[in-house]
Structure 1
Amino acid sequence: MVVRAHILVSGVVQGVFFRHNTMIKANEFNLKGWVRNLRDSRVEIICEGKKDEVQKLVDWCKKGPKGAYVSNVDVTWEDCTGEFDTFRVTY
């Protein structure tokens, strides 16, 4: 089953290569979508893929890369749109 997740990650998640490492993990899990920093210091992720692979990314986000301190991960499950060809860092 293919799903879409809208993920918001709070804590010390900017300036610690969170976006770059999210892209690496998303590619490892064969996910499509994007990741970006928000002005309120959170990181926002939209990803689509097999449910178990998307869940792996959600679980990874709870810890993040070395140097990150994740205080909260909010996930909203949405209908998959199939609009993405790759996973990328966006601004």
Structure 2
Amino acid sequence: MGIVKISDQMHESLRLAGTALSRSINAQAEHWMRVGMLAELHPQLRHSDICQLLIRIEQAGGFDLRTVAACVAPEAATAGEVRP
């Protein structure tokens, strides 16, 4: 585990979003990082596709690059879809 420094404004945004979504500040930050990472790796995916992918990744054993790669079908990734 490490320490990540963020701005006061981002910390407040995390606190507000985390409270609204019943997540801790750390859990909210990790959620946003996961969504952002997947959006950068697969820019053709919509937010709803990324949410479905996050569920499949969790079912497959948790969030790491190997699991992410296994959960995204190459042909589906180019079409903006994720593996069912």
Normalised-by-shorter TM-score class: 0.3 to 0.5
- Structure with the larger strand share: 1
- If the length of structure 2 is used for normalisation, what is the TM-score? 0.32
- Bigger Rg, structure 1 or 2: 2
